[in-house]
Amino acid sequence: MDVIETEIPDVKRIVLKRFGDARGWFSETFRADTLARAGIATPFIQDNQSFSAPQGTVRGLHFQIAPRAQAKLIRVLQGAILDVAVDIRSGSPTYGKYVAVTLDAEKGEQLYIPHGFAHGFCTLTPDVMVTYKVDDYYSPEHDRALFWNDPAIGIPWPVSGEAAILSDKDRRAPKLADLGRVF
C-alpha cells in the first residue's frame, strides 16, 4: 500500500496493491504498521457501512466535535463516489479548503481524513456501498454538519442542488460562515 499526500497534506490517499491471477485478486486493505510509518497512527475502533441506491445521493458534510471527534478511513465496496474532506480547523492555513477524490470499488483506493475535517460524498453510480473506519464511537450530542453546497467552499459536486438526494439534516446544515469555531 502506498500513502500519498493530497493538496491538504493531513488528508491522505491510500493506494492499495492488488495481486491477481485467474481467480481474481487479493489486497491488504488495512495495515496499521504501514499506515503508522506514513504518519497515520490512528487507533480505529469502529467500522461503519452505508448503502445508497440512487446515483446523486449526497451524504454530508458530517463531523463530530471534541471530545468525540472522529478520524475516518473511507473505502468503496461497490460503485463510485466523489469523496470530500473540508478543513474546518480554526487557524489552519487551509481552513475552508477541500480535498475531493474519486473513490471506486474497481481501484480500491481509500481516503484518510483526520480530526478537524467535515466529510461527505456524492454517489457517481447507483447502488453504492461505502465502508469506513472511525477512531471514536458515534455520539449524537457531538454530531454536526456543514452545508454540503456552500458557495464559499466551492466544491464541484457532480450533481446540482435541485437534483441532489439529501437528508433533512444535510439540507438544514449551517454554512461555513455560520459554523463558528468547532476545532
Q: Which residues are catalytic?
A: 62, 132
The gap between the terminal CA atoms of the chain, to the nearest Å, is 30
Residue 16's nearest CA partner among 106, 79, 78 is: 106
Place of cell 461505502: 130
Identity of the residue numbered 150: D
Asked whether the beta carbons of 98 and 85 are under 8 A apart, the reply is: yes
CA 88/CA 181 separation, integer angstroms: 8
CA 89/CA 171 separation, integer angstroms: 22
* DSSP sequence for 60-102: EEEEE-TTS---EEEEEEESEEEEEEEE--TT-TTTT-EEEEE
Place of cell 460562515: 177
Asked whether the beta carbons of 132 and 48 are under 8 A apart, the reply is: yes
